[in-house]
Amino acid sequence: MSITETFRLSDLKYLMAYTGPLIAFLGISNGGYWIYSALFYLFVIIPLLELLLTKLGYDTIEEVRENERVHWIFDLMLYLNFLIIMLTLYLSINAVIYTDLSTIEFVGLVLTTGVILSSNGINVAHELCHRENVLEKSFGKVMLIPSLFMHFYLEHNFGHHLNVATKEDPVTAKYNEPLYLYWITTPIKEIISAIKIQKNLLNRTKSSFFSIKNDLLFYIIIQSLYLFLITYFFGYYVLLFVLLSALASILFFESVNYIEHYGLLREKNSSGRYERVRLIHSWNSNHVIGRIVLYELTRHSDHHYKTTKKYQNLVSFEEAPQLPYGYPTSILLAMVPWLWFKIMNPRIPKNMIMQLNN
């Protein structure tokens, strides 16, 4: 397969994923209310543009088989996000140290840094952590360090993808569960789940807690070292900023998790086992801008259908449930629980609602 077959100029659309960070850099550099520029772009400009643009059409399974493409440029566009994360941290920490930030500027800086760590950090790490190549997986884990979210790899790959759309999955938002409650309970449940998963993995190999096979312990050490170095070189005020930015990045990403799986449940068969994961068990969005800036994360059903499929090959299927709005708009709606429930609850199949009592 030649380069012209595997990569087209139109695929450079994924460079749009850098627009949020670029606006963030300009906002941080200018200070004042400009610090909120990236947030305004991501949660006001993009939603308005998506309301004006039409959705893309559905791809068929046959088209997917013919058009699966692999090219190093697709991967390079992911790897460059590491530099974006490093530059984001450099600029934001520099602003904290050398600028007399007002409270509103500090909050804006935390939220701006958090959203970039989430969209260009955790989201890209999510893509890489599903790769079969060990180096790519490791690179993905490194990108989780600034968000203090390395346990995500264990819980997501060995927990969420196994238990998605069940009551056992901490990530699947329950029917009528407010986003704010989800923010409190889900991160804690994910940590507990990661601990259980790691314990089971160690038991399988009869390894001790202090074994080199204890990945979770390694993650804790690495992230603790990261925080120690931040404190040693920059002080406690910067440490506070780094901790709050990490928390913000996690909550931004959990908001995405919330809208991706809200209210969708798998049925149990006569033997008490859950049905296999199907395309109907994740919400999708074909709104083009959100798709591009999040590296096709919005085509989530296909991701759960085949976890190792690279982002450029993810497609939408007619049977996959569709969000009425793009991801940024959906997150804003979820922040108004009664409005979110009014819009989304009628879209949830009745048989899935009945599963709540089973």
* pLDDT tens digits along 257-285: 999 999 999 998 878 899 999 999 999 99
Is 63 a residue whose pLDDT tops 50? no
% of the chain exceeding 70 in pLDDT = 94
Sign of CA dihedral 197, 202, 208, 212: negative
What is the reported pLDDT for 147? 99
Residue 357's pLDDT is what? 62
- pLDDT the model gives residue 2: 38
Q: Is pLDDT above 90 for 209?
A: no
Provide, rounded to the nearest whole percent, the portion of the chain with pLDDT above 90: 81
Write down the pTM of the prediction.
0.94
Task: For residue 336, give both structure tokens.
Answer: 């108004």
Does 71 have pLDDT greater than 90?
no
**What number is the average pLDDT over the span 316-343?**
95
Best-predicted range by mean pLDDT (173-187, 261-275, 314-328)? 173-187
Token duo for residue 164: 């998605």
